[in-house]
Amino acid sequence: MEKKTKKKGPMPVHVVRRGGVSASIWMRITQTGLLYYDMSFSRSWKAASTDKEGYSRNFFPQNAIALTEVIEEASAWITEKTTINTDGQATKDAA
């Protein structure tokens, strides 16, 4: 059986994980050159009966603590890596 290869595309600049919950941080640049970061969230899953695996953007109440933790850590990472200059533009931290 042939294995499907994952589609290659942009990669997150940083990923925060807590169990099956993760936050992916993306660096974006607008057409006017404004640099900013944003986050996306996912939950990994595996079906017990079929061993099928995947990712979901939906969460359960039992994911609340892990989701809160990845949001807080991802937000702190973005804050640490971002400096706002006098023009109000976010720039990558040189450190």
Higher pLDDT, 57 or 93: 57
E strand spans, 1-95:
14-18, 21-29, 35-46, 53-56, 82-84, 90-92
Identify the burial level of 10 via C-beta atoms within 10 angstroms of its C-beta, where 0-12 means exposed, 13-18 middle and 19 or more buried. Answer: exposed
Q: Would you say residue 88 has pLDDT above 60?
A: no
Give the C-alpha separation, 35 to 90, whole Å. 6
pLDDT tens-digit profile of 14-73?
Answer: 999 999 999 999 999 999 998 999 999 999 999 989 989 999 999 999 999 999 999 999
pLDDT band at 8 (very low <50, low <70, confident <90, very high): confident
pLDDT at 82 over 60: yes
How far apart (Å, rounded) are the C-alpha atoms in residues 93 and 12?
17
Beta bridge partners of 92: 82
